[in-house]
Structure 1
Amino acid sequence: MRAWVLLSAVLWYLTGVGWQRNSERTEKGFIYGKPGHPVKVYVKLHHNSPVLVCMDFKRAEKETVDPTYLWVGPNEKPLSGNNRINITNTGKLTVKDFLEPLSGLYTCSFSYKTIKAETQEEKVVKQRYDFMIFVNPFAPGWKGTCNESIDCEDTTNHNILQARNRIEEFFRSQAYIFNHDLNKTLPAMHFVDHSFQIVRMDSCRPGFGKNEGLHSNCATCCVVCSPGTFSPDVDVTCQTCISVQIYGAKSCQ
């Protein structure tokens, strides 16, 4: 009986993340607010956020008189004076080089005037838009490795498959040399064709986890752990810890 060894390669799996596809996102990558409903946005760590627009899509298609915009960030802190935050005169917000502590609720108060044609009476209309921004860890430091790839996850998986094929070819060549060139009997422990496998390992880095209930529109994403939870290892879930008050906690303190 010939003995054989099953070789396995582990694929460290971190899901890449795209911004949600919904009616609030336009072809330009802008994400509009939705009155009465927080819009969830998922941003890659160390990347810029999409452009958040302090207005809903229907309102943006109409003429707006004397609009004003006021953005407030997580913990109800004003967003002025922060060099990571870019807010335009038309109420569009972008967060640069996104980090875990920047996750949370971003709220914009939007007001504008309406004028009745018959009486020329002016009325101020106010509207609030909420955006819940979460960060996904994929992937700091991978920009160079992926050679500016649009989807770093696809590039990483392609590279691992290439490595698998080359390793398998090495063992196959070794078996061929033993059989033909050296004219020797194969050793008791040797490679068997089609026995080399890649095992997909589902995991998240510390401080991140997956939650299909909370993030149904990004169920496969490793999303930063919210306040009240933490993840100390490469598990796929965030554990409960009431004392944690930050995003991305790696311990219960």
Structure 2
Amino acid sequence: MGSEGNSGALQSLRGNVLLRFIPLCSLGFAIVTGGLESAGRGLCPVRGIRGEAGSEGGGRGSRPGGVCGRVGMWCRGRERHAGSSRALCGPALLLVLVFQGLPSVYSSIHQDPNGLKVVGSTNLPVKVYVRLNHNSPRILCVTNRLRNLEMIDPIFQWHGPGGHLVTENSSVKITPTGTLLFRNFKHEMSGVYTCSLVFKPTTEQEGKSYLMKYIIYAFSDPSFYYEFTVRYHSTSCNNIHNISFGKNLLRGLSKLVSELTCEVSLRKSECHHVKMQRGGMQNEIFFTFTVSSLDAEKSKSACQNTLCDVSRRLRKAKDLIEHYFSQQVEVIGKRKGLLPETYYIEGTLQLVWVKHCLPGYGINALLHPDCPNCCGR
């Protein structure tokens, strides 16, 4: 295989790359796995294949290192053990398989985007998830290998869904070193972005060019809330006290969860005539409430410590509400004489955990497997 063919077909093994060698002796394979960056060098000075040192043939004076040294030592060891110079390691039997990794995925879901840096790849597009109305991570116009190289007269050019990106405007910033940063990311900024890099390794060499592709998605965090329904017995659906009773019930439930920085809202209230099993007709009021976390802007005081966890606070609110209605059952059971006009019907409380996305966004693990709990478009 010529050096030119090797340069185009194989990837460089230099840089900060973790390599793993798995010799499969029975098959005569040396499998090399790892995340590899694109470049234009050969793989091994073994049996005439170009190596990292740039020498051909692996002859005298060349020094195989890295992958080459390890594969060579393994082959020589197998040769001595087998007593044959071609056992397992002859040109017809030695196969080196290079497995490329899947597309890289970066997101600012659980990290500070200002401290996260994204490197590109010339092989596969890199996915980047940016929280809606927040700054993006720093998206670099280099691969992991190119970050460690000296570049002479580098030229960086970014293109997005709308065409060429200018150096800086109100929503986009491109640094002199080619780093792309979005400010206050909007959903219309989502799309495919490419960066072209041209530079000279030395003043005497020709310029080299690289093209990196990024797929950038906007996402938002889902809001969580509980929806619960309860049923109350009423003397009549036309009773004027039904409205005031609903308001008082809402006021009491809201006060119950206020210390958790949560709020209760009345979604709907309906009165129906219900035919009882093996019994007569009775009037029942169907209440539907939601209990949700107050936004930081709406709450008068900032929550502290673990109370800032939305899920934790909502679970505590759920426990308080369940205890509230179980107490009502106990009070009615101990009551002597006539029952009140309106009272809670035991066993009718039902609570459902709900995830909610902004309009136009949805949770789709098939469309966004790398961000299965995100509200994406």
Q: CA deviation at 1:216?
A: 2.3
Counterpart Cα distance in 2 of 1:67 and 1:48: 26
What amino acid sits opposite 1:55 in the alignment? V
Q: CA deviation at 1:218?
A: 1.8
What amino acid sits opposite 1:95 in the alignment? F
Q: Is 1:19 matched up with 2:107?
A: yes
Q: Is 1:175 matched up with 2:320?
A: no
Counterpart Cα distance in 2 of 1:92 and 1:143: 33
With CA pairs under 8 Å and 6+ residues apart, which has the higher RCO, 1 or 2? 1
Counterpart Cα distance in 1 of 2:189 and 2:303: 24
Q: What runs of 5+ residues in structure 2 fail to find an aligned partner?
A: 1-105, 224-293
Q: Is 1:101 matched up with 2:188?
A: yes
Aligned to 2:352: 199
Q: CA deviation at 1:86?
A: 1.7
Counterpart Cα distance in 2 of 1:53 and 1:74: 18
Aligned to 2:198: 111
- CA deviations on 1:15-70 (whole Å, 9 max, x unpaired) are xxx8189xxxx994111101131111111111111110110111112323332211
Aligned to 1:215: 368
For the 8 Å contact 2:222–2:355, the answer to whether it is kept is no
Q: Is 1:67 matched up with 2:221?
A: no
Helix, strand or coil at the partner of 1:208: coil
Counterpart Cα distance in 1 of 2:355 and 2:222: 15
Q: Is 1:90 matched up with 2:243?
A: no
Q: CA deviation at 1:175?
A: 3.0
Helix, strand or coil at the partner of 1:209: coil
For the 8 Å contact 1:108–1:128, the answer to whether it is kept is yes
Q: What runs of 5+ residues in structure 1 fail to find an aligned partner?
A: 1-17, 225-253
Q: Is 1:47 matched up with 2:134?
A: yes
- CA deviations on 1:214-242 (whole Å, 9 max, x unpaired) are 42222332212xxxxxxxxxxxxxxxxxx
Aligned to 1:11: none
Identity over aligned residues, as a percent?
28
Of 315, 326, 333, 1:161 maps to: 315
For the 8 Å contact 2:222–2:374, the answer to whether it is kept is no
Counterpart Cα distance in 1 of 2:296 and 2:175: 28
What amino acid sits opposite 1:123 in the alignment? E
Helix, strand or coil at the partner of 1:220: coil
Q: CA deviation at 1:143?
A: 5.5
Counterpart Cα distance in 2 of 1:148 and 1:48: 24
What amino acid sits opposite 1:71 in the alignment? W
Aligned to 2:48: none
Helix, strand or coil at the partner of 2:149: coil
Counterpart Cα distance in 2 of 1:82 and 1:137: 24
Q: TM-score, normalised on structure 2?
A: 0.44
For the 8 Å contact 2:167–2:175, the answer to whether it is kept is no
- CA deviations on 1:76-99 (whole Å, 9 max, x unpaired) are 232334211122122111101111
**In structure 2, do the counterparts of structure 1 residues 60 and 196 end up closer, same or farther at CA, with 3 Å as the change threshold?**
farther
For the 8 Å contact 2:328–2:344, the answer to whether it is kept is no
Counterpart Cα distance in 2 of 1:170 and 1:184: 23
Aligned to 1:130: 213
Q: CA deviation at 1:105?
A: 1.4
What is the aligned-residue RMSD (CA, Å)? Answer: 3.5
Runs of 4+ in 1 over 4 A off after TM superposition: 139-149, 182-189
Counterpart Cα distance in 2 of 1:158 and 1:62: 48
Of 109, 116, 124, 1:29 maps to: 116
Helix, strand or coil at the partner of 2:166: coil
Q: CA deviation at 1:179?
A: 4.4
What amino acid sits opposite 1:79 in the alignment? V
Structure with more helix by fraction: 2
Q: CA deviation at 1:130?
A: 1.2
- CA deviations on 1:125-162 (whole Å, 9 max, x unpaired) are 1111111111113269956479699xxxx933223212
